Amino acid sequence: MPEPPKFTVIMPIHKVHEQLSDVRSRVHSAGSPLELIIVLNSTSLAGNIKADRPNERTIVYERSGRGFAFVRGMAEAKGEITVLLHGDTILPVGWDEAILAALFDARAVGGGFHMAFDRSSGYLDFLVRLSDLLVFMRQAMWGDRVMFARTAVLRQCIGALDVPLFEDVRLTKSLRRRGKLVLLDKTVVTSAGHFWQNGPVTQSLRILKARTWYAMGGDPQKIYEYYYSR
């Protein structure tokens, strides 16, 4: 019998999230063979976050930006399927089986999950519904949905990832040119921390400004510096 496909999970870390232990545990709950590549955005993180399983690796890469970190992780990827995971997002039970079922369709090149925030409010629930609408209308996969793709196809899209932010927007477009994207029924749970720290409306306006700026042709590096300024 042929060997089951191997997964590569790439997880950039720019700070230690309280959910990190749960995030890692859920990755390793998969029944499929996998490797977890953790890309640390600072040498200071190397002392706090270490590989604690044989199939984990940590890489220190100080070029700031999640897209750059994904590109660095891709250089080490050995799996046939790659999952791009945020460090504050918990995969659902059976995540690997759901991806394998979706990619059984030869037309499918990748996709993402439904999403929910780890805190509930009318406003945050509205944002999730708005995100769902964008996926339905434009197949716009936000990175919080944990995007995945066949590794061979993802390597063809590496240029789309090579930015400090909005790599999810660019990657969605690049993957769509190569095949079908699938929205899985299972739900990932992502942190609402930024909305609570900055205020839900303030954070939403910050995101809207950044996305509008990018849509008008703004420099991703300058938008990144604005978005993460405090």
Q: Is residue 176 part of a domain?
A: yes
What's residue 2's pLDDT? 67
Within-domain flag for 230: no
Tell whether 212 is covered by a domain. no
Query: Looking at residue 102, what is its pLDDT?
Result: 97
Return the CATH number at 21: 3.90.550.10
**Residue 225: inside a domain:** no
Is 125 within a domain? no
Question: What mean pLDDT is predicted for residues 59-75?
Answer: 94
pLDDT band at 69 (very low <50, low <70, confident <90, very high): very high
- Span 16-27, pLDDT tens digits: 888 899 999 999
Mean pLDDT of 97-118: 96
Weakest mean pLDDT among 27-36, 172-181, 202-211: 202-211
Which pTM was predicted? 0.94
Q: What is the DSSP string of the chain?
A: -PPPPPEEEEEEESS--TTHHHHHHHHTT-SS-EEEEEEESSGGGGGT----STTEEEEE--S-SHHHHHHHHHTT--SSEEEE--TTEEPPTTHHHHHHHHHTSTTEEEEEEEEEESS--HHHHHHHHHHHHHHHHH----GGG-EEEEHHHHHHTHHHH-SSS-HHHHHHHHHHTTSEEEEEEEEEEE--HHHHHH-HHHHHHHHHHHHHHHHTT--HHHHHHHHT--
Total number of domains in the chain: 1
Mean pLDDT, residues 157-170: 94
Structural domain of residue 108, as residue ranges?
A: 7-120+138-193
More confident residue, 16 or 33: 33
Is residue 131, in this structure, part of any structural domain at all? Answer: no
Residue 66 has pLDDT above 90, yes or no: yes
In a domain, 130, yes or no: no
